[in-house]
């Protein structure tokens, strides 16, 4: 099965987005290590005081406060480790896919399936509105990686 040019472009775009996302997550982990908890609290208070997310007791504001509570408390170990490992894994996956290491494709699919499962698990337990969207994007990327894998093997 030959790879069509449009399919190849879409695959490369998805992989590039995943690579950029991985790089951003890695940088975010490093920044979280450096940002003091007081700064995060001030940022949250400033966003809420200016009603940038709607009313302070609104749904979006509540999600924002809940999502930043761990950072504001100074307990960021989970976030730093999660973002750092997630970023490194994504960068490694992107490198393997762009080099067309066929043996890595099933591993990449497996890792992405784990990402989706974890994103949905966390969304269910935290009420996150962003995680299901990220899971849907990862599912689309799984489909593209699988199609590329089949085309390379065929």
Query: Which letter does DSSP use for residue 101 in this model?
Result: -
Strands (DSSP E) contained in 16-56 are: none
Helices (H) and strands (E) in the chain, counts: 6, 0
pTM of the model: 0.71
pLDDT of residue 154: 77
Per-domain residue ranges of the chain: 5-153
Is 44 within 8 Å of 65 (Cβ atoms)? Answer: yes
For residue 132, what pLDDT is reported? 92
User: How confident is the model at residue 110, as a pLDDT?
Assistant: 96
pLDDT, residue 59, reads 72
Angle at 41 between CA 37 and CA 45, to 5 degrees: 170
Give the whole-angstrom CA distance, residue 49 versus residue 57: 11
**Residue listed under structure tokens 């043996």:** 103
The pLDDT averaged over each successive group of 10 residues in the chain (154 residues) is: 76 91 92 81 73 70 70 70 88 93 95 93 85 90 93 86
């Amino acid at each position: 099965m030959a790879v069509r040019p449009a399919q190849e472009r879409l695959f490369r775009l998805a992989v590039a987005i995943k690579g950029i996302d991985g790089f951003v997550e890695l940088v975010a982990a490093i920044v979280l290590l450096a940002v003091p908890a007081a700064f995060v609290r001030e940022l949250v208070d400033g966003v809420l005081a200016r009603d940038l997310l709607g009313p302070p007791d609104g749904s979006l504001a509540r999600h924002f406060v809940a999502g930043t509570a761990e950072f504001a408390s100074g307990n960021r170990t989970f976030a730093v480790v999660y973002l750092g490992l997630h970023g490194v894994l994504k960068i490694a996956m992107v490198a393997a896919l762009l080099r067309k290491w066929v043996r890595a494709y099933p591993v990449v699919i497996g890792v992405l399936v784990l990402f989706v499962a974890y994103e949905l698990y966390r969304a269910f337990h935290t009420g996150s509105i962003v995680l299901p969207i990220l899971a849907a994007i990862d599912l689309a990327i799984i489909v593209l990686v699988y199609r590329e894998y089949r085309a390379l093997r065929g």
